[in-house]
Structure 1
Amino acid sequence: MGRIGDVLLEKGDTVHTIESAATVFDAVKRMVDVGVGALLVTDGGKICGMITERDYLRRIAVEGRTSRTTLVREIMSSPVVCIESSADVAECMALMTHKRIRHLPVVDHERLVGLVSIGDLVRAVSKEHSFHVQVLTDYIAGKYPA
């Protein structure tokens, strides 16, 4: 199985962030505007948490709070679990499953290099499996010398 760095090469290294002092409304609007389900939360440029669509549902909608007055820092998930780009995709999936999270920042030598979602990893695994199926199909069809 491939490495997280390979997933980032295909996906790109864009990471969308929001300041911890922003309102939850601003965070949700940003997620909608850029088409993502999570934002990395920063405080003075340092990673301090993550806010996801699920955080909004659990801590705003269900609790009857208002997103226009609640600050991101009040509902963000913290501390943030990270992974290195050299990690194996299977290792990353296992970590996400164990921690019950769907997004992981990728950090190399204390520098943020990207963010992967469980969807990114499923796509990578599916692509790899499709390649292997095609190779085996071609072999069975006699496209390779014995």
Structure 2
Amino acid sequence: MQIVRNLVEGKTEIFSIRPEQPVLAAIQMMADKFVGALLVMKDGELLGIVSERDYARKVILKGRSSAETPVREIMTSQVLSVGPGDTVHRCMRLMTDKHIRHLPVVDGGKVVGMLSIGDLVKAVIDDQAEQLEQLQRYIAG
């Protein structure tokens, strides 16, 4: 089973937005970067996370203005995070239990990456493919 460190090594960018920026800027950045969530950060400190789900539920359904509502008003401020030594299995369990799709990776108080459910599913598929190949070699062996 892979650990988080292996998954974030290949990810070079961490997409974030400041809490005072308008929700419209967050949605535009998510669309431009092809991501479903952004970290909300100020001066390197993780303050929250904002997702497409937050936008749909806290802006669209409530008739608020995307251009006038600051990100801080819709972000999730109690952010669950994992560390580089955590396993993919633990991350998947956390996402499943808490009904979330994104997890920041924090090491020594510093954000070092972000994982999506897609990253974790890919890791599990890759692990299973490798195990299958090893079994086939063993059987043929």
TM-score grouping bracket, smaller chain normalisation: over 0.9
1:60-83 superposed Cα distances (whole Å, 9 cap, x missing partner)? 111111101111000001111111
Contact (CA 8 Å) 1:81, 1:105: kept in 2 or not? Answer: yes
5+ long unaligned stretches in structure 2:
none
Aligned to 1:18: 17
Task: Report the TM-score, using the length of structure 1 for normalisation.
Answer: 0.91
- After alignment, is 130-139 or 54-63 more displaced? 130-139
* CA root-mean-square deviation: 1.2
Q: TM-score, normalised by structure 2?
A: 0.94
Contact 2:45 2:110 in 1 (8 A): no
**Cα distance in 1 between the residues matched to 2:4 and 2:44:** 24
On the 8 A contact 2:103/2:116 being kept in 1, the answer is yes
Alignment match, 2:8? 8
Q: What is the CA deviation profile of residues 105-139 of structure 1, one whole-angstrom value per residue up to 9, with x for unaligned ones?
A: 10111111111011100000001101111222233
Aligned residue-pair number: 141
Greater Rg by CA: 1
Amino acid at match of 2:132: V
The residue identity in structure 2 corresponding to 1:6 is N
Q: How does 1:8-47 map to 2 (within 5 A)?
A: 8-10=8-10, 12-47=11-46
- Any gaps of 5 or more consecutive residues in structure 1? none
- CA 1:100 to 1:130, structure 2 compared with 1: closer, same or farther past 3 Å? same
* 2:112 is the alignment partner of 1:110: no
Asked if 1:100 corresponds to 2:99, the answer is yes
Give the corresponding residue for 1:58. 57
